[in-house]
Amino acid sequence: MSLTYNFSGKVVLITGSSGGIGAATAVQFSRAGANVVVTGRRADNVSQVAKECLKVSPNKSRALEVVADVTNNEDLKRLVDTTVKHFGKLDVLVNNAGAAIMTGVSDKQYYENHLRVMQINLNSVVYLTHICVEHLEKTKGNIINISSLAGMRTSMYGSSYCASKCALDMFTKCMAAELGPKRIRVNVINPGPIRSGFLTAMGLPNDASDKFHDKLGQM
């Protein structure tokens, strides 16, 4: 089945869009005619995704590139302010940026790692939602939070990641109830494992990551 979406004139901000799911999301929105904001910590990756967006954009809309770190609230405010100043509005916020650090509760760096995972996976979403509501209310916009199946199941040494995604799921439900009367839709997506470089970023060797995904493909 082939589905065609038309997002011409819509402004879509996607965190963590310099790679993986976020990059693919940015390209798809661009293909549907949206004005996309590509953001991440590495300028070279941000620029590469922006070029891919331009290639598929039916109206040759150039993506707005913003280098930002979601753990820094000043960066997030600059990201939103730059978006609204450039495009004049915001229609869709996709909270995609995420991180996982596999560590046991007795490990020396456990608490520091836990705080970092929570800051990226949950706190950044809360803050962005907080500062974007005024803009999304004007456009009767949408918030899409990218969670994980990990929020619904246990994982050895993945307590922080699982907890952050479980909290994100409930935050989404609460925001859907709270912002619905403002005509802002809030939804969450819980993807399973995807071959995107996420596992290697967690510290898993490339060959082990490949074997893991190959095994999933046989199920």
- Structure tokens of 100? 């996982």
Amino acid 41 reads: R
Say how far apart CA 27 and CA 189 lie, in whole Å. 18
CA distance 173 to 147: 12
What angle is formed at CA 16 by the lines to CA 128 and CA 219, rounded to 5 degrees? 120
| Structure-token pair, residue 122 | 């949950």
111: left (phi over 0), alpha (psi -120 to 50) or beta: alpha
Q: Which of 5, 111, 127, 161 is catalytic?
A: 161
Closest by CA to 198, choosing from 97, 53, 67, 65, is 97
Cα 81 to chain centroid distance, Å, stands at: 18
Report the distance separating Cα 11 and Cα 5, nearest Å.
14
Catalytic, 110? Answer no
Annotated catalytic residues are 161
